[in-house]
Amino acid sequence: MTEFVFSFPVRVYYEDTDAGGIVYHANYLKFYERARTEFLSHFAVEQDSLLAANIGFVVRKMTIENKLAARFNDRLEVKTQIAYLKKASLMFKQWIEKDQQVINRAEVEIATVDLQKLKPVRIPDAIFGVLQSVI
């Protein structure tokens, strides 16, 4: 597994919570998505250039584990790293920390697809090289 860990800060807004004042479970997925996008952007990989080439990163599989609840106005850190990289897919390991304690974990398998044919394609060489450099 990679040594590089990307950290993305998230503040829990009122809109992120349910009637009980805790983060609604689906919103963790949004936090993870934002962190993956910022991870890629950190390495100058912008998804709009992929979209212009009719290539997309799509979630193929995801597992998520809730350990503790986050609440309104909590300051969280979403951590992201690449677990593995293949020719047409990669796996992100992600976790959310509150006060340096893990409250949620996820593994997200991403596939690269041709958006017109909806079939797997290779990750473009330039992007593959960038991602490979942080493993």
The residues assigned a catalytic role are 18
For 61, which DSSP code? E
CA distances from 4 to 15, 80, 128, 130 (A): 31, 9, 16, 13
For 37, which DSSP code? H
Residue 58: in which H helix or E strand, if any?
Answer: strand 55-66
| Closest of 111, 106, 119, 99 to residue 29, by C-alpha | 106
